[in-house]
Structure 1
Amino acid sequence: MFSQKLIIFVGLALFIAINFTAMTMSNREFLPTNGIERIFISITSPFQMVVTKTIHFTQNIWNTYFMTVLAVKENVELKKQLEKSVEIKNRYEELERENTRLKKFVNFTSSMPDTYVAAQIVARDPSPWFKTIMIDKGTKDGLVKGSPVVVPEGIVGQIIKVAKNYSRVLLITDRNSAVDSLVQNSRVRGIVKGNNEDNCSFVYTLRKEEVKEGEMVVSSGLDQVFPKGMKIGRIIKVTKIHSQLFQDIILDTSVDFNKIEEVLVFKKNR
């Protein structure tokens, strides 16, 4: 009794032999000339078609898989290159912005006779009750308490605490800050006080004085802290109440305190 494996082996060998014979007969030199050959071709042709289609299908699957693998690898590589290009572009843009800011500083300091120290802002007070920043310069750089801090756009504040390598700066927007000031055109005097917001108040200006919206307020220099003529802010609102002696005036500061990164500190003589 023949085993099942032997039957499968014989059947497979017979199938291969029939296909080989049919392919040989289909050659131009061996065209079928009798009925037996035609019967062989008729029997084997469907099997040959199935085998051929199976081979083509397998080849297509392999080619598709191979191309997909290559596409995935290429996509990963392109993403890496794109990320690197974006990083380089960001660095370039950041250097351009820093260069622009430093040019303003150079032009500003060259027009001032006094000595300034450039410093970077390293921290900001997160509390809503205080408007202060920390800079990376201190006593070793010649800074002292009360030194005015400015940028080309205008006044930033003054140093209230100083250590060897760091200093704390009270911004003019803090409610404890006060700068003796005047309206640039009319020369009306007053005091710029912070209100712990993004703007300031111009106080102690008599109601009889003519103050208009859009006018620039600058430092008077009379407080012996800030140099005379430094920009503080532009008037955005003027309110006169007959029952009050002074006007209510609001300034939009010249300095955008949310965007400054470097400052200049005036070195005062001890």
Structure 2
Amino acid sequence: MFSRKLLIFVGLALFIAINFIVITMSSKESLPVNSIERVFISITSPFQLAVTKTIYFTQNVWDTYFIAVLAVKENIELKKQLGKAIEIKNRCEELELENIRLKKFVNFTGLVSDTYVAAQIIARDPSPWFKTIMIDKGAKDDVLKGSPVLVSEGIVGQIIEVAKNYSRVLLITDRNSAVDALVQNSRVRGIVKGNNEDNCSFVYALRKDEVRQGETIISSGLDQVFPKGLKIGRILKVTKVHSQLFQDISIETSVDFDKIEEVLVFKNGKLTKGIR
């Protein structure tokens, strides 16, 4: 009894031998094609066609697999390059925005003769009862308690605590903040008070004074803290009640406190006064 594997091996060898003989004989044009050769050709041709198609199919599958592997590797590499390009693009955009902000600071400080120190905001008070920020400049940078803090758009607040390398700033939107101010056009005086919200109030403006919506509020300089003429905000709403001596005026601050990242700290000690 021959084993199954041996039969398969013998059959495969016989098949290859027959194919070889047929191919060899058919390649010789001088030899005539007799009936036996025609029988061989008739028998082996289907097998040859099947073998040829199998070889072509296997080759196509291998080529496709090889191309797919290369495509996957190339895709991974392209994704890495795209990620690096996006990172570089984001850095460039961030540097451009920072450059714009610094240019505003340079133009702003160039218009006045006072001395400022630039600082970055490193923390914000998460509590809803206080409106303060922390900056990365302190006593070693000549920052003093009571120093005003500004940006090119206007007043930010006042230094209330100073450490060696850091300081805390009370924003003008805090309910404990007060800035002596006036209406830029009419020169009506009042006090800008924070209310722990995004907007502030302009209080102590007499009911008889003419104050209009849209007018600009600036610092008066009379509190000896903030220099005169710094922008604070714009009047949003004016309410006059006949039974009240003063008007109810709400203002929109010129500074967007949610977006500022750098500030300027006034270092002139003559105009510095601590909060009591």
Please indicate the TM-score interval, normalised by the length of the shorter structure.
Answer: over 0.9
Measure the CA separation in 2 of the matches of 1:32 and 1:190. Answer: 122
SS in 2 for 1:130: coil
Aligned length: 270
Measure the CA separation in 2 of the matches of 1:97 and 1:53. Answer: 64
Measure the CA separation in 2 of the matches of 1:168 and 1:24. Answer: 97
Measure the CA separation in 2 of the matches of 1:252 and 1:32. Answer: 107
Deviation at 1:250, TM superposition (A): 1.1
The amino acid of 2:88's aligned partner reads I
Measure the CA separation in 1 of the matches of 2:45 and 2:30. Answer: 16
Distance 1:256 1:25, change over 3 A: same
2:263 corresponding residue in structure 1 = 263
2:273 corresponding residue in structure 1 = none
2:254 corresponding residue in structure 1 = 254
Distance 1:31 1:74, change over 3 A: farther
1:44 corresponding residue in structure 2 = 44
2:237 corresponding residue in structure 1 = 237
Measure the CA separation in 1 of the matches of 2:111 and 2:5. Answer: 102
1:160 corresponding residue in structure 2 = 160
Measure the CA separation in 2 of the matches of 1:91 and 1:99. Answer: 12
Measure the CA separation in 2 of the matches of 1:113 and 1:268. Answer: 10
Deviation at 1:24, TM superposition (A): 2.2
Query: Which moves more between the two structures, 135-144 or 184-193?
Result: 135-144
Deviation at 1:152, TM superposition (A): 0.9
Measure the CA separation in 1 of the matches of 2:269 and 2:73. Answer: 66
Consecutive unaligned residues of structure 1, counting only runs of 5 or more, are none
Q: Does 1:196 align with 2:191?
A: no
Provide Cα deviations, 1:81-122, integer angstroms capped at 9, x if missing partner. Answer: 111111111111111111111111111112111111111111
1:60 corresponding residue in structure 2 = 60
Deviation at 1:30, TM superposition (A): 5.7
Consecutive unaligned residues of structure 2, counting only runs of 5 or more, are 271-276
SS in 2 for 1:168: strand
SS in 2 for 1:74: helix
2:106 corresponding residue in structure 1 = 106
SS in 1 for 2:129: coil
Does the CA contact (< 8 Å) of 1:160 and 1:170 recur in 2? yes
1:118 corresponding residue in structure 2 = 118
Does the CA contact (< 8 Å) of 1:181 and 1:217 recur in 2? yes
Deviation at 1:208, TM superposition (A): 1.4
The amino acid of 1:80's aligned partner reads K
The amino acid of 2:266's aligned partner reads F
Query: Which moves more between the two structures, 113-122 or 216-225?
Result: 113-122
Q: Tell me the TM-score normalized by structure 1.
A: 0.96
Measure the CA separation in 1 of the matches of 2:131 and 2:112. Answer: 27
Measure the CA separation in 1 of the matches of 2:32 and 2:212. Answer: 112
Measure the CA separation in 2 of the matches of 1:173 and 1:33. Answer: 107
Runs of 4+ in structure 1 off by over 6 angstroms are none
Name the % identity: 80
Does the CA contact (< 8 Å) of 1:143 and 1:268 recur in 2? no
Q: Tell me the TM-score normalized by structure 2.
A: 0.94
Measure the CA separation in 2 of the matches of 1:31 and 1:48. Answer: 21
Query: Which moves more between the two structures, 146-155 or 233-242?
Result: 233-242
The amino acid of 2:195's aligned partner reads N
Measure the CA separation in 2 of the matches of 1:5 and 1:70. Answer: 38
Distance 1:238 1:43, change over 3 A: same
SS in 1 for 2:269: coil
Measure the CA separation in 1 of the matches of 2:31 and 2:59. Answer: 30
